[in-house]
Structure 1
């Protein structure tokens, strides 16, 4: 089960969870995703929420659904690399925005990044 953030729609959090699994290699191109019912039970959410997640991921071109068979991660490496870039870009922009809000200069940020890069696994 996942602890969901009340401020963010659950379906977006589940989409993010699946995208992260793909990026980390926990889910690879061609892998079958759990059925809507299975994932809903696992995450303790309404099956309609999972159905929406799968529809949105399919619309984004990240998964493909074969009627009567299931939903699968796409095998297109270029598309999966783009997913990784987009997710990183979102996170980096949010991080930079936060650092600017505390008046941290680019130079100081670079120094801190270099200092802490090796500490984080």
Structure 2
């Protein structure tokens, strides 16, 4: 949820999904304490696996490596071409990043959905 708060500071409107209601509540309190309006950073206690993500054009994920391949298929099916996906700590195994930053535990990978789709149709 820290990524949601950090992104709002940079001017993004963000939605964070968390299945643990305690962590969702903590994120809401932390955002309020930092003065971030709820219409800028919202936190939803919901399973994003069951959520249609097609309305989002920026997605940041921080999940275990074992689910990244399955998540990649979900994102390919739902996200618009202009979407940028940022993966924190663990990359998508079958995607080629547009950019990468930092290294080790702080490494992030940026992927553009239109480029991902073009590469998958060439394969």
TM over 0.5: no
User: What TM-score do the two structures reach when normalised by structure 1?
Assistant: 0.30
Q: Which protein has greater RCO, CA pairs closer than 8 Å, 6+ apart?
A: 1
Answer with 1 or 2: which has the greater Rg: 1
> Structure 1 or 2: larger strand share?
2
